[in-house]
A and B are shown apart, each in its own frame.
Chain A
Amino acid sequence: MKYTDLTLMESPDTELAARLGFLRVLGSIHIAVSSSSSSPEGPHIVISDSQGELSKALRESSVAAIVVKDSAIMRKVFAEAAEREKPLLLIATELTCAEGRQRLRNIYRMKNLFRIAKHAGCRIGIVTLARDRESMLSVMQMIELAMLIGATRSEAKNMLLVLGDNHDS
């Protein structure tokens, strides 16, 4: 399986990623992560809580995927993403690196996000966006996290393939 992870590290530990079950791990040198659709030149991922910004990003060919920040639920954006076949990414470290009530809030928010995006027919992926080695997770852990937010086991496995397919094309 072409399980792919995305981190915020410049040069992620590929040996560790292979042990964790990933065929490939992308770092910030492969895909830039930005808060605006037009800043980087190459393939990039847009993180935003603005509906207008995300809609604009979906029209850009260089945007590989979108990430919805905070608790914004944007049905229109999800429908547009489904139409343009751009995936929505969920961030696993929002669950693992938060503590206590913040983690509860994040689980609730991601469950909602997953349910609404799935209903809109949007492709959904899950990545760690790990800033350090300690925040990385194995494929097994990512599958369990995806199941925690409401995915079935087969959906969870497909969520790990989303970025790999996209990055190939």
Chain B
Amino acid sequence: MILKRKNRYILVEASSPLDAVAESRSIEAAMLKVLGELYYSEANPKVVAQSDPTLFAIRVNRGQEGRVILALSFAREISGRKMGLYTLKTSGTLRALHSLHGNKAPKHIVRV
């Protein structure tokens, strides 16, 4: 039997334009700093898509989205730039996130 891994997608807005896919390592490092290795491995957050210079989506393991939202609140700097990261919505699928957010959220996963 193959167990399906359930994910949650978090729509994030940055306070200033950011190439989230290219700078995914910096965003993930900022989350790792707050979550620590244990919680990070449980949540496994990954930047998966970007639709707008300030809007991007993060995929996390289901049940861990609360911790990732907190980690994003505590992250104040991305690649040495002062930045605020606001979490707007969470959803079980990227497509639902897209339709929930007035078709502005990313629709397809970008392979990073």
Q: What's the minimum C-beta distance from A76 to chain B, rounded to whole angstroms?
A: 33
B74 touches A137 (CB 8 A): no
Interface presence of B39 (CB below 8 A): no
Q: Is B82 an interface residue (CB 8 A)?
A: yes
For chain A, residues 91 to 150, give those with C-beta under 8 angstroms from any C-beta of chain B: 95-97, 103, 133-138, 140-141, 144-145, 147-148
**Measured between C-beta atoms, what is the minimum distance from B91 to chain A in Å?**
12
Complex Cα–Cα for A140 and B91 (A): 13
* Minimum CB–CB distance for B96 against chain A, Å: 16
* B13 CB contacts on chain A under 8 angstroms: 19
In this complex, how many residues of chain A approach chain B with their Cβ under 8 Å: the count is 19
* Residue pair A19, B82 in contact (C-beta under 8 Å): no
* Cβ contact within 8 Å between B69 and A144: yes
Give A1 Cβ to nearest chain B Cβ, in Å. 15
Given contacts A19-B13, A134-B15, contact A140 B69 (CB under 8 A): yes
Whether, in the assembled complex, B66 has its beta carbon less than 8 Å from a beta carbon of chain A, the answer is yes
Residue among A97, A133, A137 with the highest chain B CB neighbour number at 10 A:
A137
**Bound complex: CA of A95 vs CA of B75, how far in Å?**
11
CA gap between A140 and B12 in the complex, in Å: 11
Contact between A144 and B15, CB atoms less than 8 A apart: no
Residue A23, interface by CB 8 Å: no
Q: Which residues 24-83 in B have Cβ within 8 Å of A in the complex? A: 66, 69-70, 72-74, 76, 82-83
- Determine the main DSSP class of A at the interface with B: helix
Whether a CB of chain B sits under 8 angstroms from the CB of A29 is: no
B74 touching A103 by the CB < 8 A rule? yes
Partner of B76, one of A19, A97, A136, A140: A97
Q: Compute how far the CA of A148 lies from the CA of B71 in the bound complex, rounded to whole angstroms.
A: 12
Are A141 and B66 touching (Cβ within 8 A)?
A: no
Q: Which residues of A contact B66 (CB under 8 A)?
A: 144, 147
Q: Does B90 contact A (CB under 8 A)?
A: yes
Residue of A nearest to B72 (CB): A141
On chain B, the residues within 8 Å of A72 by CB distance are none
B88 A133 Cβ-Cβ under 8 A? no
Q: Report chain A residues within 8 Å CB of B82.
A: 134
Q: How far is the CB of B1 from chain A (nearest CB, A)?
A: 34
Complex CA gap A20/B82 in Å reads 19
Q: What's the least CB distance linking A34 to chain B, in Å?
A: 26
CB contact between A133 and one of B15, B69, B72, B76 (< 8 Å): that residue: B15
The 10 closest A-B pairs by CB, nearest first: A134-B84, A141-B73, A138-B86, A144-B69, A134-B15, A144-B70, A140-B87, A96-B73, A144-B66, A138-B87
Residues in chain B within 8 A of chain A (CB atoms):
13, 15, 66, 69-70, 72-74, 76, 82-84, 86-90
